[in-house]
Amino acid sequence: MREVHHNPSTTLHYVLICKGPSAETNDLTNIPSSLLSLLKEFQDVFPDELPHGLPPLRGIEHRIDLIPGAPLPNRAAYRTNPEDTKEIQRQIQDLLTKGEIVRLHGVPRSIVSDRDVKFMSYLWKTLMAKFNVKLLFSSSSHPQTDGQTEVVNRSLSTLLRVLVKKNLKAWEDCIPHAEFAYNRAKHSTTLRSPFMVVYGFEPPTAIDLLPLPLHEQVNMDIDKRAQYMKKLHEDTRATIEQQVLRQATRLNLKKKARIFNEGDLVWIHLRKDRFPQERNSKLKPRGDGPFKVLKRINDNAYIVDIPTSKYLVSNTFNVSDLSPYHGDEENIESRTTLSQGGEMM
């Protein structure tokens, strides 16, 4: 590389790329004279002991999927020997043929996910193509979800946040307990538990295992069972429609402008873009407080007395990031009234 200065404000850089095998001797007779001075000046850049020809094939397959806009994975690229790759492919194909990979619920027809690097990788797409699974990638411009997945994930994350507390690494051990509690709890919308809606009965617990099961459910024939489930689903749909209208009416009546005065105590919502350190985990609290309102700039902006040593941000907050403190709340981790972003787990 050589620098050429045409004027004090312009510098051009020229790079010489040598392609092909170099000569075994130091014979420079076949090289153009215009390059001789450059080669002699930069002998450390173009040494005599260059390898001959292209680099040898080392028997290693190395592939990197380049996805525009994707973040760096911060992990080493996976490399394997071709023979090992063929053996792994053979074993996976054998498991696919025997049906040993997907056992509990069968193979889904489609999977809805975000555009994480794991779901956009070539390995994941190839594996799902083997199962004939259609991948649906959701984004803000082209949403593929119906909102139900976000609500379930938000409810489970709220339960995990209360169960895990500060033991963030133990969240995987709490998932089965949170899932069982969620599926067995009676929901306000359907007035039934999700397990009851799907299977027609509640899952047994330790107390339920003591007496014998109900005679009607055990010896129910196919036709009677089908009619029972059909009526259960019809009643559930009717209940959902009634609850939706009731909730909409109740929320519209309570919808009013939120005004805070100086001296009021409020919770603050820790948004991910504004508090990255406090929101680096999905299981950390999404709010903090209570804090005192110092000044009302207008109906949409307030100055809050937050500890500057803890939060290195401006103490001015929008009204959407504030929630009133009622005096009897001790833990904000279980609160769901604050605005929460739709995140998939």
**Adjacent-strand bridge partners of 267:** 323
Burial of 188 (0-12, 13-18, 19+ CB in 10 A): exposed
Half-sphere exposure of 226 (CA within 13 A, CB side): 3
Beta strands in the chain (DSSP E): 2-7, 10-14, 61-62, 79-80, 110-113, 134-137, 265-269, 287-298, 301-304, 316-318, 322-324
Residue with tokens 């259960």: 232
Tokens at 89, concatenated: 């492919």
Q: With CA atoms as reference, report the closest residue to 137 among 115, 117, 110.
A: 115
Predicted confidence pLDDT, tens digits, the chain (345 residues) = 444 444 545 444 445 555 444 444 455 566 777 777 766 766 655 555 555 555 555 555 555 555 555 554 444 445 667 787 788 888 877 776 766 566 555 677 888 887 778 888 888 888 888 888 888 887 655 556 666 767 777 787 888 888 887 777 777 788 888 888 888 888 877 888 888 888 888 887 777 666 555 555 555 677 777 888 888 888 888 888 888 888 888 877 767 778 888 888 888 888 877 777 777 777 777 788 788 898 888 888 888 888 877 787 888 888 888 888 877 655 444 444 444 443 333
Helix extents (H) in 165-293 = 171-184, 194-199, 215-218, 222-254
Query: Distance between CA 130 and CA 121 in Å, rounded?
Result: 15
Residue with tokens 């969620």: 182
Please list, in sequence order, all residues whose beta carbon lies within 8 angstroms of the beta carbon of residue 164, skipping any fewer than 6 positions away: 170, 171, 174, 283
Sketch the domain layout of the chain as residue ranges. 2-41, 186-256
Tokens at 262, concatenated: 């100086």
Report DSSP state, residue 308: T
Contacts 24+ apart (CB under 8 A), 17-23: 18/46, 18/50, 20/53, 21/52, 21/53, 22/48, 22/50, 22/52
